Amino acid sequence: MTKRSLFCFLMLLVAPALAVALPQHMPIPGGVAIVPLGTNSSTAPEVHYNKRRIMVVKNSHEWVAVVGISLSAKTGEHSIKIKDADNKTYTRSFSVTSKQYETQHLTIKNKRKVNPNPDDLKKIRADKKEILAALKHWSQPATQHTDFILPVKGPFSSPFGLRRFFNKQPRKPHSGLDIAAPQGTPIVAPADGVIIETGDYFFNGNTVFIDHGQGLVTMYCHMNEISTKPGQVVKRGEKIGTVGKTGRVTGAHLHWGVSLNNTRVEPKLFLNGQ
């Protein structure tokens, strides 16, 4: 084999590694859109959608935006605003198609978890402030990891996006994926990240938030035990706590939420066929 043919052979081996494991492209309410930006510059463009900064990664030889789409998004054409390394701005469009989510009716025995008293409402307001601060967190890691493993093994008991009724009262759509598992089952980090917050919240119970970079934050609710603390670096597959039934629940399970550009999206889109 000549030096030239050996070089070409080695390049063929390396080329596939340039592609990153992106979440599934599913531009629906509650989904994710992968939008090519039409540039392969050495510096990543800065992208915004609905005034929120968007994740940008290089896939093979082109930068792409990874856009989280709200459950309340209207169908039709949407656009992102891009600023390149030379401060030139332009837009790219993508289309959001419709998605009909199912309805779920649940009976909660602890009626305060459905109709909180005044003291409960004070805690709920404080909880909300802390939770929203964690979900809108932004960091710029050297390497972006968007290929997840399941944080716990078990059947999916309540899918993402359900239109929910608690004790016959309508509530916000289900913003995560519920995974049924016995109390005490280990929960692991689905990808590398940093613990940005933990807490015991009125509705969510014992909760952990992991920052995976560029507005990608995962949330773990109703935990029995938390075995991590804010600021701790965790690796893919590392234990962060155990399954429980704290907060507003009907039984032991993990509520796993994925937030992208401060928008709650379908966690299964990040599992890459698992």
Q: How would you label 197-220 residue by residue, b for 16+ Cβ within 10 Å and e otherwise?
A: bbbebbbbbbbbbbbbbbbbbbbb
Tell me whether domains 3-96 and 103-270 share a fold.
Answer: no
Instruction: Domain 3-96: give its CATH code.
Output: 2.60.40.1590
pLDDT at 167 over 80: no
Q: Of 79, 85, 77, which Cα lies nearest the Cα of 67? A: 79
> What are the beta bridge partners of residue 105?
165
Q: Which two three-digit tokens encode residue 247? A: 């907060």
Residue of 86 and 208 predicted with greater confidence: 208
pLDDT at 227 over 50: yes
Candidate from 28-32, 37-41, 72-76, 189-193 with smallest mean pLDDT: 37-41
Q: What is the rounded average pLDDT for all residues in the chain? A: 89
Give the pairing of strands 62-68 and 156-158. unpaired
> What are the beta bridge partners of residue 169?
166
- % pLDDT > 70, the chain: 91
> What is the C-alpha separation between 8 and 153, in angstroms, rounded?
43
pLDDT at 142 over 90: no
Under 8 Å between Cβ of 47 and 80 = yes
Q: What confidence score (pLDDT) does residue 104 get?
A: 75
User: What is the domain partition of the chain in residue ranges?
Assistant: 3-96, 103-270
With cut-offs at 50, 70 and 90, classify the pLDDT of residue 202: very high
With cut-offs at 50, 70 and 90, classify the pLDDT of residue 12: very low
Q: Of 201, 246, 51, which Cα lies nearest the Cα of 136? A: 51
With cut-offs at 50, 70 and 90, classify the pLDDT of residue 171: low
Mean pLDDT of 73-79: 96
SS (H, E, C) 17-64: HHCCCCCCCECCCCCEEEEECCCCCCCCCEEEECCEECEEEEECCEEE
Read off the pLDDT of residues 228-264 as tens digits, 9 standing for 90 and up.
999 999 999 999 999 999 998 989 999 999 999 999 9
Phi, psi for 211 (deg, rounded to 5): -90, 120
The third-level CATH classification (topology) of the domain covering 103-270 is: Glucose Permease (Domain IIA) (2.70.70)
> What is the C-alpha separation between 56 and 35, in angstroms, rounded?
9
Which DSSP letter does residue 71 get? T
> What is the C-alpha separation between 191 and 218, in angstroms, rounded?
10
Q: Is 227 exposed, middle or buried (0-12, 13-18, 19+ CB in 10 A)?
A: middle
Q: Is 261 exposed, middle or buried (0-12, 13-18, 19+ CB in 10 A)?
A: buried
Q: What confidence score (pLDDT) does residue 1 get?
A: 47
Q: Of 227, 229, 252, which Cα lies nearest the Cα of 240? A: 227
Q: Which residue intervals of 96-139 are DSSP H helices?
A: 118-135
Q: What is the dihedral of CA 115, 118, 120, 124, to 10 degrees?
A: 90
Q: Which two three-digit tokens encode residue 239? A: 């234990």
Kind and range of the H or E run holding 8:
helix 3-14
Question: What is the residue type of 240?
Answer: I
